Structure formats: structure tokens, C-alpha cells
Amino acid sequence: MDDVTARSTVRPLVVPELVTLPAEIDISNADAVREDLQAALRPGVAVVIADMTSTVFCDSAGLRSLLLASDAARAAGGELRLVIPSAAVLRIMQVAGFDRLLQVYPAMRDALTGAANPPP
């Protein structure tokens, strides 16, 4: 393989911005969560990872904030990845259909690599 072929198969390193989300996301803090995620989308950031490993509850206001932050990431040419190991939070996302709208990963290592996210 020549140097040109080798270079064309190598993906550039993407250093994500990590935002840790609270144990509960509801109407009382959903706007702050959205603002934190959108603030992480500064110029030069291609990937924002929302670390929801401690999140055990997320209501409709929280889901809306995650969707708005994801839309903002796409509009800026980036992406929002959610790390959600909680079965309860995943179930809420499934019932609302948000698991099809957002990039959900079961573990941080999967979100870091952008590995194909399996259905929860």
C-alpha cells in the first residue's frame, strides 16, 4: 500500500468535549443541561459526549433539552453522543422514540470511538 492509500484510510483524531449530566434531569434543571451541552459546542469541537452514567431519571423536559442540544450540534457541524447505561432512562427514550433520534451508546468507550451504537 502506498502512502496516498494509507493516508486516505486514516480518520483524523477527534478529541471530544465531555459533559457530565446530573442524576436526575427534569423540568427544574433541563434548561441548564441544554445550556451546558450547547456551551460545549464551541468552535473546533466536533463531538460532545453527554456522560449520563449517573443519570437515573429523565423526564420529557430533559428529553427535549437533549434533542435541542443534538440539533444545535448538527447545525454546527458536530454531533452529540449520549452515554446511557441506565435501563430506566433507556426505556423512557424508547417509549418516546428518542432512541431513534439521538446517538445513544451503552458505555463511554463506545461513545469515544463512535462505534456503531447497538439498539438498547
% of residues, the chain, pLDDT over 70: 84
pLDDT tens digits for range 93-113:
999 999 999 999 999 999 998
pLDDT, residue 14, reads 66
Contacts 24+ apart (CB under 8 A), 102-109: 102/66, 102/67, 102/70, 103/70, 103/79, 105/81, 107/83, 108/49, 108/51, 108/53, 108/83
pTM of the model: 0.84
Could you give all domains of the chain from N- to C-terminal order, each with its CATH number? 15-113 (3.30.750.24)
